[in-house]
Structure 1
Amino acid sequence: MPTQALRFRKLLMICDFERPFSLNDLGCGYGALLDYLALYHPQTPVDYLGIDLSAAMVRSAKRRWTGETIRFQQGVESPRSADYSIASGIFNVMLDQPFPLWEQLVEKTLTHLRKTSRKGFAVNFVHVPASGERTRTGLYCTSPERWSEFCRTHLSSHVRIIDDYGMSEFTLLVEPHSP
């Protein structure tokens, strides 16, 4: 899908493809990010760990992908630290969760991503609809400032906001402050 490829391109702006690296993919689904990496960055060795809440998705990913540096695991957090982590779309659908509880989950997940990402992590969110537009029920919409400020102040990180790619979402690229 062209929108998914665009989304991956923005998220992977956090990575340095000039040298091998390790990557945690939180919410990996069936491993679609590996298709993108194979197509656009085949020259860069990536030690990849995909993590997904859904056992069915993990099974599907394991059927599609094998290799010494490709692993999948069911769960909500990464069991290892990596150079980079990405989380694509995992915050968008909150279904019937209360808003404050959902934002606690986002905080916890961002904190975990910071803790397990040595060089940085990237996440995306759906923009708050423009004035007059309706929000789909169960969709979590937010502003870039809400979570970029959280990452700056609570996670001691430098944040770049990418929101100029023609979709109703934005991407945060989060890197630890240099010592």
Structure 2
Amino acid sequence: MPPHAGPGAGGEDAFADLRETVDAYYSRRLARFGPTPLGVDWSCVPTQEMRFVQLLKLCDLSTSKKLVLNDLGCGYGALLAYLGWRHPDIALDYLGVDLSAAMIAQAKRLWRGQPAIAFATGGDCPRVADYSFASGIFNVALDAPRDRWEAYVASVLDNLRATSRIGFAVNFVAARPASAEAKPGLYSTSPERWTTYCETELQARVALVTGYGMREFTLLVTV
């Protein structure tokens, strides 16, 4: 499956306006809160790291083989700090990608001088890696209509499938009960919506991770 044709891959980006809106939102967060969990719209370090724990369940971290990883929606590179703390012996080939040029500039400052770490501005993974992660990038739909936002989510999943040799991991906010009031601008969904998409449209195998103390779920997708 060839990489999805996103920005910079030729042709018009059908979701350019959505990407620009999300870019502006996170650039404002970074300007206000700096390179912190709040700067990428997470509440605190422990919950941010709990998400990393779930994503990394996809990977075999016991091997000495180099971990070739794409981090889509990388922000300022918080995953790198977590890996350095919890898995300092891993040989890493890391590419972080983010819509926000301000985020990427901050990440490059924080992680400069490390040849195995690179960053790029964009909305799609531009290279094939063993694994790809996307944490939290589907949550902030802002004022996008639900059907269009879901078409955008599908296009990103297509790209993750095309650029991951072994698999990819993503997370979503879990839908509230029908009687509960939804938070404006927040996209939430049932696991079935996207497990079915990954299994049928992307012809992949999906493991669902829940029960880690937050109203969300993680999909571990192997190809």
Give the TM-score category using the shorter length: over 0.9
Report what 1:22 is aligned to.
68
Could you tell me which amino acid in structure 2 is paired with residue 122 of structure 1?
A: A
Report what 2:100 is aligned to.
54
Report what 1:13 is aligned to.
57
| Distance in 2 of aligned mates of 1:8 and 1:134 | 28
| Distance in 1 of aligned mates of 2:192 and 2:165 | 23
Higher mean C-alpha deviation, range 9-18 or range 129-138:
129-138
| Distance in 2 of aligned mates of 1:87 and 1:60 | 19
Match of 2:176 among 107, 123, 129: 129
| Distance in 2 of aligned mates of 1:73 and 1:175 | 25
Higher strand fraction (1 or 2): 1
Give 3-state SS (helix, strand or coil) of 1:139's partner: coil
Q: Percent identity among equivalent residues?
A: 55
Give 3-state SS (helix, strand or coil) of 1:110's partner: helix
Report what 1:111 is aligned to.
158
Question: Per-residue deviation at 1:15?
Answer: 1.1
Match of 1:98 among 145, 149, 165: 145
Match of 2:110 among 60, 64, 79: 64
Higher mean C-alpha deviation, range 106-115 or range 123-132:
123-132
Could you tell me which amino acid in structure 2 is paired with residue 6 of structure 1?
A: M
Give 3-state SS (helix, strand or coil) of 1:137's partner: coil
Aligned 1:73-84 pairs, distance under 5 A:
73-84=120-131
Question: Per-residue deviation at 1:131?
Answer: 4.1
2:215 aligned with 1:171: no
Show CA shifts across 1:138-159 (max 9, x none): 1001000100010000111000
**TM-score, normalized by length of structure 1?**
0.96
Report what 1:146 is aligned to.
193
Question: Per-residue deviation at 1:133?
Answer: 2.1
| Distance in 2 of aligned mates of 1:95 and 1:76 | 17
Report what 1:35 is aligned to.
81
RMSD: 0.7
Could you tell me which amino acid in structure 2 is paired with residue 22 of structure 1?
A: V
Question: Per-residue deviation at 1:12?
Answer: 1.1
Gaps of at least 5 residues in structure 1 are none
